[in-house]
Amino acid sequence: MANIYLGSKKKKSKGKLWLLIIILILIAIIGFFGYKYFKINNSEPLKASKNTYAISYEDDLYFIRVINDNKRIQITKIPNNSTFPDTNKNINNKSLIIATDEFLNQFNLKSDFKYYINLNIDLIKEFTELLNKPSEDIDGFITALKFSNINPIQSLFIGKYRDVIRKYDRETNLTDESVYALISAFNNYSITDYDKLTLKTIFNKPMIVNVGDQTYKRNYIDQKVYDLIKTILE
């Protein structure tokens, strides 16, 4: 009569079950990260024609135009409370939503998506440390973006960069996709920095304008500089 070894078969059965579970877990993990990678690299901000990132920092406004059509970035700097010479309209940092619309309308620009960031020193320090380029000012922030070199694996964890910004600016509308689109553009596109696109004002201090009982401060942008930059922006 043949001998029957039930214990051995049970061990083999359990071993196969654990192997199957491990394989299924690995497939689930690969599928999750594969989907996340596909989503972040095929997002609407990456496919859009033009995106605008408005930044308020100290006494200035910065408008980063990401032009995906021809792989260019244009950064325009405007002093807070500046007045455009042709329309006499004022632009300030009280509302980045309003300021962005004013900027785009003033220069007849279009933007598929608009994002808003209120920068401060703490935000810059923590964000640039994540990019391994620690800094404490706007220049360092932009330099860190230029040399970030985020690889495909790091792109899967782009949320931590967004979380740092939201930690210090709860009003921002930045998403994982928009942060990745910004960093990716700085890595791959030609950049016209704000040293060439600064809208300088005529005077260092605003003029006081009295209209009846009302007093207004006006810091007029230089007409020649304004006209020149208007021909450059797209």
- For the chain, how many helices (H) and strands (E)? 9, 9
Q: For helices 121-130 and 159-168, what crossing angle results, to 10°? A: 170
- Tokens, residue 3: 């001998």
Separation of alpha carbons 23 and 158, rounded Å: 27
pLDDT given for residue 176 in this prediction: 94
Sheet harboring 82-83: ordered strands across?
90-91, 82-83, 214-220, 207-211
The single-letter DSSP state of residue 132 is T
Q: Can you point out the beta strands (E) in 80-147?
A: 82-83, 90-91, 113-118
The CA-based angle 139-141-145, given to 5 degrees, is 115
pLDDT given for residue 7 in this prediction: 54
pLDDT given for residue 2 in this prediction: 53
Instruction: Name the superfamily (CATH) of residues 45-232.
Output: LCP protein (3.40.630.190)
pLDDT given for residue 224 in this prediction: 95
Determine the length of the chain.
Answer: 234
Tens-digit pLDDT profile for the chain (234 aa)? Answer: 555 555 555 566 666 778 888 888 888 878 777 777 778 888 899 999 999 999 999 999 999 999 999 999 999 999 999 999 989 899 999 999 999 999 999 999 999 999 999 999 999 999 999 999 999 999 999 999 999 877 777 778 899 999 999 999 999 999 999 999 999 999 999 999 999 999 999 988 777 888 888 887 778 999 999 999 999 998
- CA proximity to 50, closest of 119, 123, 100, 124: 100
Long-range contacts of 166-173 (CB under 8 A, 24+ apart): 167/123, 167/126, 168/118, 168/120, 168/122, 168/123, 168/126, 169/117, 169/118, 169/119, 169/123, 171/116, 171/118, 172/115, 172/116, 172/117, 172/118, 173/115, 173/116
Long-range contacts of 80-83 (CB under 8 A, 24+ apart): 80/56, 81/206, 81/217, 81/219, 82/199, 82/201, 82/219, 82/220, 82/221, 83/218, 83/219, 83/220, 83/221
pLDDT given for residue 177 in this prediction: 95
